[in-house]
Amino acid sequence: METPRVLEELSKASFEAMARRRAEAPEGALVERIERWRHRGGCFAKALRQGDLSVIAEYKPRSPSAGRLGEFEPEEIAERYRAASAISVLTEEESFGGSLEYLERLRGRTDLPLLCKDFITHPYQLVEAKAAGADAVLLITGLLDEYELQSMREHAADLGLDALVEVHDRAELDRALTSGARIVGINNRDLAAEGHPIDTATTGKLLDGIPDSIIVASESGLELDAKSRQKLRKLNARGLDAVLIGTELMRADDPAPRIEHLRRFGLSRRKSRPPAR
């Protein structure tokens, strides 16, 4: 397994920030805060299986490619994303301007499921995500070998966290399913290629053959325009459960009505996925 350079750099920065936080707050100091949120276990997965197309609205203050995306405080995001099925919170600090504090503040303002989106490679990152009020975490297959992926997913489950396991190609998908992933995120952005191009056809290519018991979300490149909506309707008919949208929602004047429209644009009853050929 060869990890794309950009993922290596992002995970290194995220690990170093985690190490500093861990020195100030050892795992034992977070136990009480973890227990506070255990009753929410499984709510992220449930929110993505509501029948219609689910929308995971992403909160990220900035991105390496698009720069600053908005000056919204977490409390404002709770209102702006009120129509979403769940909210993804970028907590990586250096490149995305996020923080666990933002996630914790958002948790205090919304009952929607929260996904902690970071470059997670250490079990402590799972602990602090749960302590901050996360209901799910992102695990990137390209950052973890098969043993690490299974171990991290199982540790997340022990903490009451769902795991959105991100893949980009068939080999990563096979490893994700072998690890026991129950929620798969298909990233349409190729981080290994120059310029990190986006091809939304990636979701369609990988969707068939994923067992119907697995929840599937599409990430990157599918937005709110008419062309994306038509693609999403077709993918939803083939078994896609959810879409994650970030940049366009961060830039929208009032994203709530647009999220509602997109959710209704899905089918009321999607078809089961065909078995693997």
Which CATH class, in words, describes the domain spanning 5-33+42-265? alpha beta
Q: Where are the domains of the chain?
A: 5-33+42-265
What does the pLDDT read at residue 277?
44
Instruction: Report the C-alpha gap between 218 and 184 in whole angstroms.
Output: 9
Tokens of 205: 């290519």
Instruction: Report the C-alpha gap between 254 and 252 in whole angstroms.
Output: 5
Torsion of CA 193, 146, 166, 178, to 10 degrees: 120
Q: How far is CA 203 from CA 57, 192, 199, 233, in A?
A: 18, 17, 8, 13
pTM given for the model = 0.93
Contact 14, 21 (CB under 8 A): no
Pairing of strands 62-63, 67-68: antiparallel
What does the pLDDT read at residue 226?
86
Closest CA relative to residue 116, chosen from 215, 40, 174, 50: 40
For tokens 């952005």, name the residue.
189
What does the pLDDT read at residue 269?
45
| Average pLDDT along the chain, 277 residues, taken 10 residues at a time | 81 92 91 90 94 91 74 92 96 91 96 97 97 97 94 97 97 95 94 78 92 95 87 92 92 90 66 56
What does the pLDDT read at residue 197?
75
What does the pLDDT read at residue 266?
63
For tokens 């939803």, name the residue.
236
Closest CA relative to residue 85, chosen from 58, 63, 120, 122: 58
